Structure 1
Amino acid sequence: MRASTTPALTAASAFAASAILGAPPQAAAQEAVTIAVAESDRYGSYLATAEGRPVYLFTTDTRGAADQEPRISCTSEACLAAWPLVTTQGAPQAGEGVDAALLGTMRAESGTVVTYAGWPLYTFARDAGADAPQGQDIESFGGEWYLLTPQGEEVHAE
């Protein structure tokens, strides 16, 4: 991916995101991230980090494919503070029920971003504890945010 098309996660936005999440800046990128499957009565099976944080796709991003690099459209400080990218220091790991062949990475100014089925992955700053996921089917920053199924598709509540 060309550097000119990647977002800039500034120190201020990293600090803001970490303050909201209650973690030190760059905490999300200390080790290789594991993507796991979580369950909800309302949403069924969806992807989350090994720590239980739901992960989301953003509909205005460009989904990567064999002939197209993924592209991140959530680039403003406000967007990245509300929807931090899932970054990793190594190859992302597939937890039980996750298709390792759908996991990938892309380079961005903020680091190595985890992708799934070609989608860059995000967490939601307001997701916490038993109330998560709170970011499902939200319209903000010019698009919609959805949980992902283990098959790499948008979750739609019945």
Structure 2
Amino acid sequence: MNRTAKTASWTVAALLLATAASGCSSSTKKAAEPAPEATVAANTAAADTEVKAATSQATVTTKSVGKLGEVLVDGKGKTLYLFMKDTKNKSNCSGACAVAWPPLHTSGTAKATGSAKSNLLGTTKGSGGTQVTYNGHPLYGFVNDTKAGQANGQGLNQFGALWWAVDADGNKVTTKP
């Protein structure tokens, strides 16, 4: 292959990759768009490991997160989300979706603390293992919530539907951050 053909092939490959990446991260809001590609790539690599890793008993608790008020968080204080494309006790997030939005996995029964209600906790078969549900909603983290108290995924439209934080009664929180 000559040099011009090789350059053209690499250019086409780069354009296809950029097009594919942009198709997976549409957002209906500008203020909380995902981090730059380098950060997303690093966070996605970490989340990919999390999705595949065996977990212990998950903890679901509550924490006040900015304008959202008191919402569900995991044992590390990271915001938990529901996916509007899911149906009761059934996850519709797998593959690239589950990498960007890691399911909250548990081995055994999840534990509720704070204002979280143990009678609303359950499990379902999710991407990569047993996924925690709350009031029938499978629960997920978000790859760009890198520390406790962030809600960078709030209201994003990704993988075909909106993502919302969850309150202690198991309802979506639609307040914008």
TM-score normalized with structure 1 length: 0.77
**Does the 8 Å contact 1:18/1:24 carry over to 2?**
no
Describe the SS at the equivalent of 1:88.
Answer: coil
Matched, 1:102 2:120: yes
CA distance in 1, matches of 2:146, 2:48: 10
Q: What is the aligned partner in structure 1 of residue 93 from structure 2?
A: 74
Q: What is the aligned partner in structure 2 of residue 13 from structure 1?
A: none
TM-score normalized with structure 2 length: 0.69
Q: Give the one of 37, 44, 47 matched to 2:72.
A: 47
Q: What is the aligned partner in structure 2 of residue 19 from structure 1?
A: 45
Describe the SS at the equivalent of 1:151.
Answer: coil
Query: What number of residue pairs does the alignment pair up?
Result: 135
Q: Give the one of 89, 105, 128 matched to 2:107.
A: 89
CA distance in 1, matches of 2:156, 2:106: 25
Amino acid corresponding to residue 19 of structure 1 in structure 2: A
Q: Aligned pair in 2 of structure 1 residues 42, 81: CA closer, same or farther (>3 Å)?
A: same
Q: What is the aligned partner in structure 2 of residue 56 from structure 1?
A: 81
Q: What is the aligned partner in structure 2 of residue 128 from structure 1?
A: 146
Q: Percent identity?
A: 33
1:134-153 maps to which residues of 2 (within 5 A)? 134-153=152-171
RMSD of equivalent CA atoms: 2.3
**Greater C-alpha radius of gyration:** 2
Gaps of 5+ in 1: 1-15, 64-69
- Which protein is richer in helix relative to its size? 2
Q: Aligned pair in 2 of structure 1 residues 131, 100: CA closer, same or farther (>3 Å)?
A: closer
What does the per-residue CA deviation read over 1:11-64, in whole Å, with 9 as the maximum and x for residues that have no partner? xxxxx877334966644x42100101010231001000011111100001002x
Amino acid corresponding to residue 114 of structure 1 in structure 2: V
Amino acid corresponding to residue 58 of structure 1 in structure 2: F
